[in-house]
Structure 1
Amino acid sequence: MQRYSYLDLAAVPEGSDAATALANTADLARKAEALGFHRYWLAEHHNMPGIASAATSIVIGHVAAATKTMRVGAGGVMLPNHAPLIVAEQFGTLATLYPGRIDLGLGRAPGTDMQTARALRRGLSGADTFPQDVVEIMGYFAEGAEAAPVQAVPGAGTEVPVWILGSSLYGAQLAAHLGLPYAFASHFAPALLEEASHIYRTRFQPSEHLAEPYFMMAMGVCAAETDAEAEFLRSSQVLSFARLRTGRPGKLPAPVHDLSEVPPEVMAGVEQAFACSAVGSRETVRRRIGELVERHRPDEVMVTGMMHDHAARLRSTEIAAEVLAELARPPVAAN
Structure 2
Amino acid sequence: MPISPPVPERAQQLLAQLERFGSREHGQLAIGRRLLREHPDLPLTGFAIAGSFCPEPGRPLHSLILHVGEHDTDGITAWARALGTEPVIDGARYRLDTALDGIGIWASATIPETDYDLDQAVFVPTADDVSFTLRGLLVTELGEDGDLLFIGHPPAREVLAVTSAYYRHICGQRLRAYGDHVLTDSITRGWARFVAYPTREDWRIRSASQDTPGALPVTWMYAQEGDTQDIGNPVHCPACGRHSRGLDYDHESGQRVHLCPLPDCRHQWPVDDSLEPSPTPEAIEHHQDQRTAVATR
TM normalised by structure 1 equals 0.20
Point out the structure with max Rg over C-alpha: 2
Q: RCO (CA 8 Å, sep 6+): is it higher in 1 or 2?
A: 1
Q: Which has the higher helix share?
A: 1
